[in-house]
């Protein structure tokens, strides 16, 4: 609850806050909090409380537990008809539908909070899985599951892009990271290649390469294996 006020201030100023499943369920000592998730003040801010939660198998997984444990448990690899691996929980957001992994939550939605995603299978079908609440100039989004690669893509297209949240560099290749640091009069773009081979990065903005002290033209740049570039933007 101590940091909810700062999150609320961020949203009121125009920020988009995404709160994931099981947030606010434990304290800093990993002790379960008695209040219904996501906690007293965060529940008010997000406009939801968690009615029920449970574990799900990973995407393409074969059960809730790993096989071949060191103590000889969970060693049966054959998928039986009633195993959890066969129970898929589908999540529908707009026109997109993805398979949830690791966790599901069923949400009680407060008045003034919009349901933007629902469960689309099993006993949870039709119940709220993702919500959005307007807070000042921004929004607080609650997601009743854990993020997966497929779910991140859906969020990027249907939630982040409409809010004006876009990648620093479009079409960034896998294995390459970009961050930006800025002050009142200076903006620095950091590009890091985490791969063991060169990477061609498109859509680089023009500026000055601080490591090579050369001008960078807008367009494509090759970053060497495990290399980086720091560009002072024009």
pLDDT tens per residue across span 187-229: 999 999 999 999 999 999 999 999 987 899 999 999 999 999 9
pLDDT at 171: 93
Q: Which residues of the chain have pLDDT under 70?
A: 62-63, 65-86
Residue 148, exposed/middle/buried by CB under 10 A (0-12, 13-18, 19+)?
A: middle
pLDDT at 121: 92
Q: What is the pTM of this model?
A: 0.79
Domain 4-163 shares a fold with domain 176-233: no
Sorted by where each begins, the domain ranges of the chain are 4-163, 176-233
Say if domain 176-233 classifies as CATH 2.60.40.1180: yes
pLDDT at 201: 97
* Average pLDDT of the chain to the nearest whole number: 90
pLDDT at 79: 60
Q: How is residue 61 written in tokens?
A: 């997984």
- Indicate the CATH number for domain 4-163: 3.40.50.880
pLDDT at 28: 87
- Give, in order, the Cα–Cα distances in Å from 84 to each of 12, 101, 127, 129, 171: 41, 12, 20, 20, 37
């Amino acid at each position: 609850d101590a940091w909810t006020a700062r999150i609320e201030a961020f949203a009121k100023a125009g920020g988009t806050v995404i709160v994931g499943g099981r947030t606010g369920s434990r304290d800093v000592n990993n002790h379960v909090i008695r209040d219904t998730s996501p906690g007293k003040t965060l529940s008010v801010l997000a406009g939801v409380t968690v009615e029920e939660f449970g574990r799900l198998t990973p995407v393409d997984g074969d059960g809730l537990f790993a096989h071949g444990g060191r103590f000889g448990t969970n060693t049966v690899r054959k998928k039986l008809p009633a195993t959890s691996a066969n129970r898929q929980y589908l999540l529908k957001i707009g026109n997109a539908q993805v398979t949830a992994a690791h966790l599901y939550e069923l949400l009680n939605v407060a008045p003034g909070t919009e349901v933007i995603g629902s469960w689309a299978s099993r006993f949870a079908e039709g119940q709220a899985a993702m919500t959005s609440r307007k807070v000042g100039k921004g929004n607080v989004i609650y997601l009743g599951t854990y993020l997966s690669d497929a779910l991140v893509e859906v969020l990027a297209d249907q939630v982040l892009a409409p809010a004006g949240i876009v990648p620093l560099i479009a079409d960034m290749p896998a294995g390459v990271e970009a961050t930006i640091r800025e002050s009142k009069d200076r903006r620095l773009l950091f590009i890091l290649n985490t791969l063991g081979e060169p990477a061609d990065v498109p859509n680089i903005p023009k500026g000055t390469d601080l490591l090579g002290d050369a001008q960078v033209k807008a367009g494509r740049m090759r970053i060497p294996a495990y290399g980086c570039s720091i560009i002072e933007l024009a």
